[in-house]
Homo-oligomer: A and B are copies of this chain.
Amino acid sequence: MPYVNIKVTKESGGLTKAEKETLVKGVTNLLEETLNKNPASTVVIIDEIDTDNYGLGAELITDRRKRGQ
């Protein structure tokens, strides 16, 4: 019954459904293989955050992207 929350920036229209499936399956499998956790009750929530609302290194990701980072 683990709970996992993944926060990533929302860029170029956001994650595709296939990418979300890959993340959910990948994390669920990792927890089953590493800790023997039951995949049936593993919850994974993906938050896509606007680049204006995500800061790293004292600046917004929006501005890092403009600088090519």
Chain A residues in the interface with B (C-beta under 8 A) = 1-9, 15, 17, 19-31, 34-35, 37, 39-49, 52-62
Copies in the complex: 6
Q: Is the CB of A56 within 8 A of B42?
A: yes
Report yes or no: A55 in contact with B28, Cβ–Cβ below 8 A.
yes
Q: Are A57 and B40 in contact (CB under 8 A)?
A: yes
| Distance A39 CA – B22 CA, assembled complex (angstroms) | 17
| A9-B1, A43-B43 as given contacts; A35 in contact with B55, CB under 8 Å | no
* B55 and A24 form a contact (CB under 8 A): yes
Q: Using Cβ atoms and an 8 Å threshold, which residues of chain B touch A21?
A: 59-60
- Nearest B residue to A21 via CB reads B60
